[in-house]
Structure 1
């Protein structure tokens, strides 16, 4: 089991990054809530991880905090929720927002996440409601982010001319339909905006 990576951030193309750890490059998929906190390319960073082995693939998922990884693990325990949908949920809502939605039984709010229909949202509430009671304390614990990224500073990315295309591609990778992703990005597009900012604003607008 690979539980933590510490190395140099080599590439990042939402929602995936490449981290060099002692000469070995690890491809890691992140929810956007963690992706926003990444340092610049070439800088050191640390991620807590969850390793998934399938018949056709070995996949590594990364998170800025242990609390977010813990929620991811709780999500994939739920019937019908796989890693991809769990990433989509954590990309559209922070851990705190999701826990609050489950506790409030906010079915409508949860169904705004791509791929999550009413029945799936209801299942999430029913199966996770009791489990989330103990999870609230971990979110409020000051040391819950002990393994946070080494440089959780404001990103200063150079604006790329294809920022909109990158943002649309990232949203599609998270499960949004191409037409929905394009419409959302066009709605929030602004001069000088980075792909990360467009993704963040588009997700916020859709949620």
Structure 2
């Protein structure tokens, strides 16, 4: 089984990256493809090697914590790899683990693809199995501005912002762009579309 890949990012899509490892391109599905900086630098993706009857898939993460949490999530009945990716796209390992420990169903149901019954199942199955995966904060504040990322409009921006930061833009530059950009973003707009709009504003100064 593949545990990690180390190589150069040669291609991006909204759901995956292609990593060149010694002239072999591996398609790796990940929560936020833009978390891997597209540069000349070698990147490391921690891999979950998923084998089905009809496919062999690679899911990749920039940290061990995300890799471990992903593996725990797909052990829960009813949660497949795609739903687990959505959870990790919508919340950090720290915030997801904290919500599970605190039985915070409100937080969990804000994550993509998670209803009340699934949230309850996650808590029941994983509450005692997440030691060492994340630094758990004392509480998760669902209604604060930091969780505006669960809004379907700002979810795309949250992912796009990480990709733009990887390209060298600062939080101050990106927050300024967002104020001018947010009214022109539609719910569930693809991340690459949001990035293109933001880049046009950044280039225009």
Q: Report the TM-score, using the length of structure 2 for normalisation.
A: 0.67
Preserved CA contact (<8 Å) 2:108 2:114: yes
Aligned residues: 156
Q: Secondary structure at the match of 2:57?
A: strand
Structure with larger RCO (C-alpha < 8 A, sep 6+):
1
**4+ long deviations beyond 4 Å:** 189-192
Aligned with residue 183 of structure 1, among 187, 199, 202: 187
Equivalent residues in 2 for 1:95-134, closer than 5 Å = 95-132=93-130, 134=131
Report the equivalent of 1:164: none
Residues 157 and 11 of structure 1: CA distance in aligned 2, closer, same or farther (over 3 Å): farther
In structure 1, stretches of 5+ residues that fail to align are 141-151, 159-180, 196-207
Preserved CA contact (<8 Å) 2:97 2:134: no
1:193 and 2:195 are equivalent in the alignment = no
CA–CA separation in structure 2 for the residues paired with 1:54 and 1:184? 29
| Residues 70-126 of structure 1: CA deviation (Å, up to 9, x unaligned) | 011110111111111000000000000001111111112111222211100110011
Q: Post-superposition shift, 1:185?
A: 4.3
CA–CA separation in structure 2 for the residues paired with 1:102 and 1:81? 15
> What is the root-mean-square deviation in Å for CA atoms of aligned residues?
3.0
CA–CA separation in structure 1 for the residues paired with 2:4 and 2:12? 18
In structure 2, stretches of 5+ residues that fail to align are 136-162, 170-184, 201-205
